[in-house]
Structure 1
Amino acid sequence: MNLSQLEMFNAVAETGSVSEAAKRVHRVPSNVTTRIRQLEADLGVELFIRENQRLRLSPAGYNLLNYSHQILQLVEEARDAVVGEEPKGRLHLGSLESTAAVRIPPILAKYNQSYPLIQLDLITGPSGSMFDQVLDGELAAAFIDGPVIHPAIEGRPLCDEELVLISPSQYPTITRGQDLTGQNIYAFRANCSYRRHFENWFLADHAKPGNIYEMESYHGMLACVIAGAGVAMLPKSMLMTMPGHEQVKISPMGEDWRWLTTWLIWRRGSMTPQLQLMLDILPEYKERA
């Protein structure tokens, strides 16, 4: 196993195509194919599942990809340490949609201004998806609802988010889960931590909602509530930035359910220089919502 093989392996893993990977590493496709086959022979496992001229990572390939990223990152770090260049490289981050919209823009701006040579990539999604991608090594870190108790995960709190219930303006004030028994609610997909929190709020009061309509955005939820079609739960910080928030009734959830803490999590043992620089910035922005 050598660095050239790992670079080619990463390129194929990320593009899913030998021809596209060859363009990235400036080699001919036949050379990439040969080097990948040599790597598989050296390791004694198949790193890719080959089907319909496309390549998917095998379970062994996923395991190697995490280590391969770390190895190549360490090589880059060593090179920079020797030549004395500014920090550079890439940082793949994930985030809850509301956190990305409200909480972390100043953090990302400070990071970009301080380390312009580091390429910062950000994707958004539900906590469950972000957690899985961190665990699989697809993301260096993610801002999700926490804390997360897992032996392979480390984390640091960023802020406390206040969650509120929104209902049509003429709706009675909501004080408990049973006030919404049988009512339609709007939420993200089942792997969203906020949705689980909402459902557990019902269960704790021995209440059961009516239909649960899955939405792709907070703006969609707000529009449905304004139209009188049901009730939703949103982070208050996100709600107050959205046009139309004054058209709904806002009800608190009660002290036992009101707050959730947003954490930045990363895989244990996978700290990179780029991620450490992000962690160095966080204390300046840690706050309670």
Structure 2
Amino acid sequence: MDLGDLQIFQAVVEAGSVTRAAEHLHRVQSNVTTRIRQLEQKLGVALFIREGKRLHLSPAGWQLLPYAQQLLALAAQAREAVCDDRPRGPLVLGAMESTAAVRLPGPLSEFVKRYPEVKLTLKTGNPQQLAAAVLAGRMDTAFVTGPIAEGPLERVPVFSEELVIVAQAGHAPIGKAHQPLPPVIVAFEPGCPHRARLEAWYARRDGMPLQTIEITSYHAMLGCVVVGMGISLLPRGVLATFPDRDRLSLHPLPRGENRASTDLIWRSGALSPKITALLQLLKPARALRAETLAG
């Protein structure tokens, strides 16, 4: 059954005759008659009892009618949802852990208040994982930092992060000339842009860490740094969420190496009202980022 057949069937039921249904549908009478007969042939039952020019529903027709009404109503709702420019329905959002912990609580809280018809899901991962999920359709949009896998993606800068090296409190200055580089770093798994940035920092100074301790959360990472297990590189904003901040020492990176842009990405051609609404809400953060870069 197609929706056109059901629409004609419902029109005939409501009009009580093929003639009036054809007028309502702006079709010729023979076309309506043919479509009804074709529908009856497909179902293998008579849907109407014919008495001259009048039609009455048969028992099978009465059984079909509520299903036809439900299907046509669902189709109308689907058309409305697709054409509606209101943010509504599921939104699967991806982010790096630092972005989710520091940057998103405020904006997402406001987003949920403004758009209660959106069912928001937040998932974390590294930029490569997030980009792959967006390309595969498992996520609608994601916040990423640094280069990502090539693909049909669009991206808009939304945050600018200051990156700092953190070490145990009282640690000697890091990166100064003629000083040995710390042998151990604490970082996320390969694919993390901050880990890649720290490894590149070592490489520019003709060194590489002798050991990398892989951790799955920032607070666990900072806990390792506090007890002197190694150094790490992360956005300065993450430190605001760490209760033992005074047990760390901060070591700034040189200008030009100390900032990272976080972008919102989505698949090309898939900019939905939900993503547009999120971008609109992030405008103040984008304006702040522009001021920071200009300053």
In the superposition, the TM-score normalised over structure 1's length comes to: 0.68
Deviation at 1:216, TM superposition (A): 0.4
Residues 165, 252 of structure 1: 8 Å contact kept = yes
The match for 2:113 is 113
Residues 181, 210 of structure 1: 8 Å contact kept = no
Deviation at 1:273, TM superposition (A): 2.1
Residues 168, 248 of structure 1: 8 Å contact kept = yes
Residues 182, 231 of structure 2: 8 Å contact kept = no
Residues 88 and 141 (structure 1), Cα distance of their counterparts in 2 relative to 1, 3 Å cut: same
Higher gyration radius (CA): 2
Distance 2:235 2:76 in 1: 41
Residues 183, 230 of structure 2: 8 Å contact kept = yes
Matched, 1:79 2:80: yes
Distance 2:92 2:268 in 1: 16
Distance 2:119 2:177 in 1: 45
Residues 87 and 249 (structure 1), Cα distance of their counterparts in 2 relative to 1, 3 Å cut: closer
The alignment's C-alpha RMSD in Å is 2.6
Deviation at 1:147, TM superposition (A): 6.1
**Equivalences for residues 1-289 of structure 1 within 5 A:** 78-80=79-81, 87-146=87-146, 148=148, 150-176=150-176, 179=179, 181=181, 183-286=183-286, 287-288=288-289
Question: Could you tell me which amino acid in structure 2 is paired with residue 248 of structure 1?
Answer: L
Q: Deviations over 1:219-270 (max 9, x none)?
A: 1111111111111111100112211111011100111210000111111112
Question: Could you tell me which amino acid in structure 2 is paired with residue 244 of structure 1?
Answer: D
Distance 1:111 1:260 in 2: 25
Q: Could you say what secondary structure the match of 1:229 adopts?
A: coil
Deviation at 1:160, TM superposition (A): 0.8
Question: Could you tell me which amino acid in structure 1 is paired with residue 79 of structure 2?
Answer: A
Residues 183, 209 of structure 2: 8 Å contact kept = yes
Deviation at 1:92, TM superposition (A): 0.5
Deviation at 1:276, TM superposition (A): 1.8
Question: Could you tell me which amino acid in structure 2 is paired with residue 284 of structure 1?
Answer: P
Residues 214 and 136 (structure 1), Cα distance of their counterparts in 2 relative to 1, 3 Å cut: same
The match for 1:31 is none
Deviation at 1:150, TM superposition (A): 3.6
Question: Could you tell me which amino acid in structure 2 is paired with residue 78 of structure 1?
Answer: R
Distance 2:77 2:210 in 1: 54
Query: Sequence identity, in percent?
Result: 32
The match for 1:30 is none
Distance 2:272 2:180 in 1: 46
Distance 1:178 1:137 in 2: 50
The match for 1:12 is none
Deviation at 1:133, TM superposition (A): 0.8
Residues 189 and 143 (structure 1), Cα distance of their counterparts in 2 relative to 1, 3 Å cut: same
Question: Could you tell me which amino acid in structure 1 is paired with residue 159 of structure 2?
Answer: C
Q: Deviations over 1:136-181 (max 9, x none)?
A: 1111110110465845111111111011111111210113597453
Question: Could you tell me which amino acid in structure 2 is paired with residue 152 of structure 1?
Answer: P
Residues 168, 226 of structure 1: 8 Å contact kept = yes
Question: Could you tell me which amino acid in structure 2 is paired with residue 79 of structure 1?
Answer: E
Q: Could you say what secondary structure the match of 1:240 adopts?
A: helix
Distance 2:269 2:123 in 1: 22
Residues 96 and 250 (structure 1), Cα distance of their counterparts in 2 relative to 1, 3 Å cut: same
Distance 1:219 1:178 in 2: 32
**How many residues were matched structurally?**
217
Question: Could you tell me which amino acid in structure 1 is paired with residue 281 of structure 2?
Answer: I
Residues 107, 285 of structure 1: 8 Å contact kept = no
Deviation at 1:119, TM superposition (A): 0.3
Residues 79 and 177 (structure 1), Cα distance of their counterparts in 2 relative to 1, 3 Å cut: farther
